[in-house]
A and B are shown apart, each in its own frame.
Chain A
Amino acid sequence: MKKAAPVGRNIQNGPSLLSRFLTLVALLALAGSMDALAVESGRLIEKDGKYVFVENQDPALRLLLERAVDKGFISREEYEQALKASEEYRYQTQLPFKMWYDRGFNFSMNDNAFFLKVRGRFQNRLTTRWRNDAWRNPGDAKNFPELLGVFGDYRANRSVGNSTQFNLRRARLLFTGHLFNPDFKYFLQLGMESSENAQTPGSVNLLDYYLTSTHFPLLNAQLGQYKVYFNRSQINNTASMQFAERALVQDVFTANGLNRRDIGLTIMNDEEVYPINYYFGIFDGGGPLFTDYGSYESEEPAEGCPGGQTSGNPFPSPATGCAGNQRNINANARFNSISQLMYTARVMWNVMGRPGYGEGDLAYSETPQWSVAGNIAYNPQINTSSNNAFVGIDLANLNWRRQLATFGNGRQLGWGFVDYTTWGVDSVLKYRGFSLQGEYYFKNINRHNKGLPCLQTVGTGGPCTTFAPNQFGNSTGWYVQSGYYLIPRHLELAARYAYWDPDTHAASDLVKEVDLSLNWFPFGTYDYQVMITYSNIAMGTGGYAIGRSSPLPSTGGSQSTVPCPPTFPSGCVPLDAKGGTLIDNVLRFQVQVFF
């Protein structure tokens, strides 16, 4: 009976027998692998800034055991058991994570189910600029690249002579890595800098925060806030540029026309795997940390009556029967603009190699790297501020107005709602330290209100007598830049020419830019760099901008009346009356440390 019982148990517990058998096999396999580990295994650890291979087994213990075997104090079996036990002990007592420094502070769980890389980017520059007399008067009345004034009303930007300023141009903190496995990535970037002409000190801004899935190379997905995969110069990281600053034209033709960043989803394939790459995106179209709910129009208490002015009937007066209003008694009305999204598409063909997005051939490509690409974006319902009230008085949409100005579209302010259809083509070639890159842009601007904006009336609410001189046109521009590494991977000389026509209907408004840069990369990577960039920028002051150019808005009266009649609520001398070309010579000495 004593023998039968265990047999019976075994029969009753068939699955247990199987599991024990499998466990035994697994243990044997483990023992085998541990045996191998005892001889060969180890790991890399960082010590004093260098990576060294450390065996899992304590060398002293191994020596003693080997001597013991040689002397016959212990058997070979005992030797093996001692090694296994020792390794298992070390494995069980080791920390479940590791930390090291390599292009940032790295923290990783041992099973790589979580990884965190913390990096900082310091980019400081000394900027010396010389401006011509035209900068004193008329100055920049087209509001590029800044919109002055507390409430975002339209003012000219004027300055004199020369200036020299230090500027913490980029102060970034990055938290990146992956969750669960390396194909599920996260990226968080904080920006704490201020631009050269910022009116307020920089604060901590969330620039990027997104998740990326790379589980399927044909169908990667990125969700969150980030730079839209649209045009080459904006996709590229500012840490890997050939010049201290982007050309003005490169900032103008972003996908949404407001900012290079937006909130949305991009589907794309893996550039490393496929020679032809696509990026399809859908976004809010309102810029970072902002949605279309932030866009609205001023409305009187009476529905359908535009508001936003201090007194009197709305100007120009499209609606009859609307009462005169008070500026502060208005409604903020959100219409169908909030249901509109932005769509983007980019297709790139890596004809030869894979040049990537970093500017210049720092990597010293041994074979030619060439790609061509095209992109298009449709961003409807951009509120350039309503044209149903005195321009500059309606306080609506300050964020959008500032964004429009910052990204080169300030002269479009006051035209009401517009749709942007922006497209471009680009190409880049890299070979043995030489690089050539160029882009062409075009932006179709579709204004919802088809008639010319009324600027002057006969009396308050009277018939319109003067209109804007013409409709705002489209916008186009291009640039070409080239660089050559005089010392491969270390010293580069680069040049760029950029051209921008902000309004195809206007004359004498071209913006042309020439840049030369000498770049030193002391460690052969983009992370550490010293740049000296010279820029010559010529901006025509021609063209028409509502509220700043002639004719100015008024409710009756004559612009030639002296003194200026009260019917000109914003004055009667156009800000750009003097004309001329704004010349800016800028020398930037910039240091970057990306650690």
Chain B
Amino acid sequence: MKRWEKGPEMPGRAIERWRGLAIRTVLLGGLLALVGCARLPYTVQTVHQDQRVVVAIQREVTSAGYSHPVQLSPQDLVAILGSFSFRPQQRLPLRWFAEETPPKKIFRQDELEALAPFLAEALQKVGPEERVHFQVLAPGMNPAYEHDTNGGWIAVRDPYFHLTLEHFHAQFPVRKDEMWDLRYPAIPPEPGAFLLYFEPNRFWITDPAVDERGVLYRDFLKSVVLPVRKQGSP
């Protein structure tokens, strides 16, 4: 006879067993929450927030060993970030056919000029186990419902400058619930996967500490001629 066919004498024990399991599950979950074991980087300070730019300091959940704080001017950051381009990283098997797509610039000039001062300020405040997260906002496809968002984070582990792009013109809901259904949660889109490129490529070197590419930013800044807008140019 199968367990579920035992008849009326079974339910009491079954209920007790499952109730015990449920209680233990709840207690275990509560314990995990009490311990507060963050598993994703979390915001510890918002450096700046307006309708155009959000810059925050996030604490890493694993040891990062960054060389923070760092002194970089807004012009330096404009030069560095303006040299990045990207290509969306496709999943297999689409990845085999996606290489024809040319890389695109991450930031427009106006976005860089809006963002860089606050990034520079944040880099002076950030600690060695923290990173600087940013979002550049614009009206979304429907401005009443969504923000158009370019987002990511930067960090410096000398001599490397690291940039991670999480969102490129992603549509973020402006509220926690959908505007069209007040009962349905509006969840921001997940960070995407992007392949980053940096020009000149000779400064785009693998950081052995994390086995990821970073910019040899000091060398780059020595070589770069900061753009000067010509007067009267159209």
Contacts and interface: CB of A to CB of B under 8 A. Distances in A.
Interface in B52-87: none
A464 interface: no
Given A432-B38, A512-B15, A363 B187 contact: yes
B2 interface: yes
A178 interface: yes
B18 A271 contact: no
Contacts of B22: 495-497, 514, 516
| Of listed B19, B108, B140, B182, residue having the most chain A CB within 10 A | B182
A434 B110 contact: no
B7 A436 contact: no
Contact of B141 (A102, A363, A538): A102
B226 interface: no
A471 interface: no
B190 interface: yes
Contact of A50 (B18, B141, B168): B168
B234 interface: yes
Given A514-B15, A536-B18, A134 B39 contact: no
Contacts of B182: 212, 271
A182 B144 contact: yes
Given A354-B176, A432-B33, A497 B143 contact: no
Given A53-B169, A362-B187, A363-B187, A272 B175 contact: yes
Interface residues of A, number: 78
Contact of A134 (B7, B88, B179): B7
A488 B36 CA distance: 14
Contacts of B159: none
Contact of A132 (B6, B29, B168, B177): B6
Nearest to A161: B5
Given A178-B144, A240-B184, A526-B187, A432 B7 contact: no
Interface string A88-121: 0000000000101010001010001001010000
Interface stretch (A336-344, A393-401, A478-486, A563-571): A478-486
Contacts of B210: none
A221 to B, nearest CB: 12
Interface string B3-19: 01111101100110011
Interface string B173-217: 001110111111101111000000000000000000000000000
A132 B32 contact: no
Contact of B190 (A237, A489, A512): A489
Contacts of A272: 175-177
A583 B10 CA distance: 9
A344 to B, nearest CB: 15
A585 B190 contact: no
Given A493-B25, A495-B26, A239 B40 contact: no
Contacts of B231: none
Contacts of A52: 104, 169
Contacts of B28: 484
Contacts of B138: 44
Contacts of B15: 512, 514, 536, 538
Contact of A514 (B19, B184, B190): B19
Interface of A: 40, 44, 46, 50-53, 65-66, 69, 76, 79, 98, 100, 102, 106, 108, 112, 115, 117, 130-134, 161, 176-178, 182, 185, 187, 212, 227, 235-237, 239-240, 271-272, 354, 356-358, 362-364, 366, 431-434, 436, 480, 482-484, 488-489, 493, 495-497, 512, 514, 516, 523-526, 536, 538, 579-581, 583, 585
